[in-house]
Amino acid sequence: MSCDILFTSVPYTVTKIAPAAPAILIGMLEYHGYTGKFYDFNVLTLEDPDVKNFALGKNPSNTEYLDKVYRYHVNKMLEYKPNYIGISLFTYQCIRTAQLLCIYIRTIAPEVKIILGGPGLSHNGLHGVNIGAEWQELQLCDYWVKSEGENPIIEILKGDYISTPKWKQITDLDEFPIPVYDSYNWSLYKKHIPITGSRGCVRQCTFCDIHTHWKKFVWRSGKSIADEMIAQSIQHGIYNFAFTDSLINGSMKAYKELCTVLAEYNNKNPQNMLTWRGQFIFRPKNQMPEDIWKLSKEAGLTQIHIGIESLDEGVRDHMRKKFSNDDIIYGVQAMEKYGIEGVFLMIVGYVTDTEETLKNQKEMFKVLSPYAGDPIVKVAIGSTLAILPGTPLADMAVDLGITLGKDENDWVGLSNQTTRLQWRKDLIEHCVNLGYNVPEHVGHDQLMTSGSVINA
Amino acid sequence: MPEATLTIEVGAYNGTPGFMIDEQTWEPNSLTPGEQQINFKYNHGATNRFQMFGKETNDTLVDKDNVIIADKFILIKKLRIDYIEILNWQFHKHIWNPYFAFNNQSQYLDIPTKDNLPLWYINLQD
């Protein structure tokens, strides 16, 4: 067993969904006559508190044990006899472990070359400090790849690549081969195959830096996505899919086409019906009429994650989300009618938030409370607002009278972090009391002590 | 032998101090004041001796409250060895005080073996 590139993910990312990127890159390698495999270091060590503590900047209880864990996994990776190890950093929380992994690889197998990639290569958002260049200077890695890796990995293997922060966005997603999941250990994951239908976003939300990263919203044809889903389900016997897109209904034309092809397939294959979930945007009734909701269900849509962010219309308008509270009520009623679950994604402490807007949000949660549990299965109240470099908010900060702090959560404007954390606590309590399921995926204590989610 | 890079700050008063890393010597007044990098050779699993010299008792200037105004010193700010960097705070917390203030003051740095390097790195992190 040997391969050109062994891809690995590194702790710490809480997920049980198989990562999409390695399979996409392996597909690209095979298309060009190379070989690739995947070893999921992150998921294999997800339950290990020492690995987690080290990743999150805390002291492992037993450093010699941590040493053994890393050696074990590096040796498992080396069993694939790779020429390169490609380390994928999914978020900033992967930086410490990626650095340690590089040190182990350099120590144990100095002949193996190291490639770094993924959004976690930058501190403080996509436009923050590039650690790839720093580590290359330290000779901790041989190459680093900013953004999309499909073309750079081929250039690296051809000896024709120089790491650079500049990159050209891929605009034709249909030109690439389908992802290869053959080396995935599916027993580690929920039975959902990742699928990518688009990159970028149709909105330009003020708090988000994706638009400056992926300047254009590009999407595959609905038929191409459906064809991939059908082929993967036949090959792996897995019929559930998880979209990696920022929005699955960013292009309504492609979305309708996708739903039409899948609904037809599901009608003809009732024993092997395909189901899928993804991130979604609420649209007004004239853009997303009821027949599209019905078609979505027939096509296999089971759950959507909606970036509601705020239930105060004024706040949401400032964010440029472009949907009203009436649109939310319409969407929730359609979801209930067609049996589609929804997860609300919320941000507390936006730059225009005040006690009044918090009160409005609480009132709207009350209005929606008959839908708590069905179809609103979760309300994810994440961190307080982080003002990331490269976002419209960072550019507007001076005009908005905002003083940026040392951490992206630690800014002062109409509110300060202490107030925002209190709002967050109040909103969580309010939602729980109304019967919503509110998982605390970012611990309140962690926010209180660190003052920053990004650097926590 | 591999080579390490040491980033130091050199404090000047009545000139700059001398500095030795094992047999490698920088004579007094040969180092320029301020931050600079010096290289030294090392062996994995061996010990390197660091020593400042050439400082007299009148090479520290203090005010009436005994607050140092100017001093002849060497401060280690960063050590780059193999693929890792050890910063000033890590010296303070895990190795030894990186501020050389006295004449003939010595410190010994135990370089890990290649095999122990990652564990050494882990133990320097918290």
| Domain edge (last residue) among A138, A157, A176 | A157
Selected residue of A103, A104, A114, A136 to mutate for chain B interface (largest B Cβ count, 10 A)? A103
In a domain, A380, yes or no: yes
In a domain, A307, yes or no: yes
In a domain, A173, yes or no: no
Interface contact B117-A138, CB threshold 8 A: no
Which tens digit of pLDDT belongs to each residue from A384-431? Answer: 999 987 789 999 999 999 998 877 888 999 999 999 999 999 999 999
- pLDDT class for A434, splitting at 50, 70, 90? very high
Q: Which of A101-110, A211-220, A298-307, A372-381 has the lowest mean pLDDT?
A: A211-220
Q: Nearest CA of chain B to the CA of A51: how many Å?
A: 11
**Taking the alpha carbons of B38, B41, B43, B48 in that order, is the dihedral positive or negative?**
negative
Q: What is the dihedral of CA A243, A244, A249, A252, to 10 degrees?
A: -90
Residues spanned by the domain of A330: 191-450
Q: What is the mean pLDDT of residues A354-367?
A: 97
Q: What is the mean pLDDT of residues A206-211?
A: 86
Residues of B in contact with A58 (CB under 8 A): 126
Tokens of A33: 């006559």
The segment with the largest mean pLDDT, out of A10-19, A118-127, A436-445, is A10-19
Judgement on whether residues A144 and A202 belong to the same structural domain of the protein: no
Instruction: Out of A58, A59, A67, name the one closest to residue B118 (CB).
Output: A67
Q: Are strands B3-11 and A275-280 parallel, antiparallel or unpaired?
A: unpaired
Tokens of A286: 């004239």
Q: What is the mean pLDDT of residues A106-128?
A: 83
Indicate which CATH number applies to the domain containing A326. 3.20.20.70
Q: What is the mean pLDDT of residues A319-328?
A: 95
pLDDT on residue A415: 96
- A135 to each of A66, A100, A164, A405, A424, how far by Cα in Å? 22, 11, 13, 27, 37
Is the pLDDT assigned to residue A117 strictly greater than 50? yes
Q: What is the mean pLDDT of residues A162-183?
A: 89
Contact between A66 and A54 (Cβ < 8 Å): yes
Instruction: Out of B84, B119, B126, name the one closest to residue A67 (CB).
Output: B119
- pLDDT class for A450, splitting at 50, 70, 90? very low
Distance CA A261, CA A352 (A): 43
Is the pLDDT assigned to residue A127 strictly greater than 70? no
Judgement on whether residues A202 and A150 belong to the same structural domain of the protein: no
Find, among A266, A276, A272, the residue nearest to A303 by Cα.
Answer: A276
Distance CA A263, CA A220 (A): 18
Judgement on whether residues A200 and A149 belong to the same structural domain of the protein: no
Contact between B59 and B18 (Cβ < 8 Å): no
What single letter denotes the amino acid at residue A88?
S
Find, among A108, A241, A96, A218, the residue nearest to A168 by Cα.
Answer: A218
In a domain, A162, yes or no: no
Judgement on whether residues A153 and A197 belong to the same structural domain of the protein: no
Indicate which CATH number applies to the domain containing B92. 2.60.60
As for how many domains chain B has, the answer is 1
| Domain edge (last residue) among A115, A142, A157 | A157
In a domain, A275, yes or no: yes
- Report the predicted TM-score, pTM, of the whole model to 2 decimal places: 0.86
Residues of A with CB under 8 A from a CB of B: 54, 58-60, 63-64, 66-67, 70, 96, 100, 102-104, 106-107, 138-140
pLDDT on residue A213: 73
pLDDT on residue A363: 98
Residues of B in contact with A60 (CB under 8 A): 122
pLDDT on residue A128: 62
Judgement on whether residues A152 and A195 belong to the same structural domain of the protein: no
Question: In which residue ranges of chain B is pLDDT below 70?
Answer: none
pLDDT on residue A222: 87
Indicate which CATH number applies to the domain containing A121. 3.40.50.280
Read off φ and ψ for residue B70, nearest 5 degrees. -145, 145
In a domain, A168, yes or no: no
Interface contact B125-A64, CB threshold 8 A: no
Q: Nearest CA of chain A to the CA of B6: how many Å?
A: 14
Residues of B in contact with A66 (CB under 8 A): 122
Is the pLDDT assigned to residue A203 strictly greater than 90? no
Q: What is the mean pLDDT of residues A262-282?
A: 95
Contact between B104 and B53 (Cβ < 8 Å): yes
Judgement on whether residues A220 and A146 belong to the same structural domain of the protein: no
pLDDT on residue A123: 63
Judgement on whether residues A207 and A92 belong to the same structural domain of the protein: no
Judgement on whether residues A149 and A209 belong to the same structural domain of the protein: no
| Domain edge (last residue) among A157, A174, A209 | A157
pLDDT on residue A124: 57
As for how many domains chain A has, the answer is 2
Place of tokens 């609480």: A362
Residues spanned by the domain of B28: 3-123
- pLDDT class for A352, splitting at 50, 70, 90? very high
Mean pLDDT of chain A: 91
Interface contact A103-B114, CB threshold 8 A: no
Selected residue of B117, B119, B120, B123 to mutate for chain A interface (largest A Cβ count, 10 A)? B119
Distance CA A384, CA A447 (A): 8
- pLDDT class for A454, splitting at 50, 70, 90? very low
Helix (H, G, I), strand (E, B) or coil at A240: strand
Selected residue of B44, B83, B113, B120 to mutate for chain A interface (largest A Cβ count, 10 A)? B83
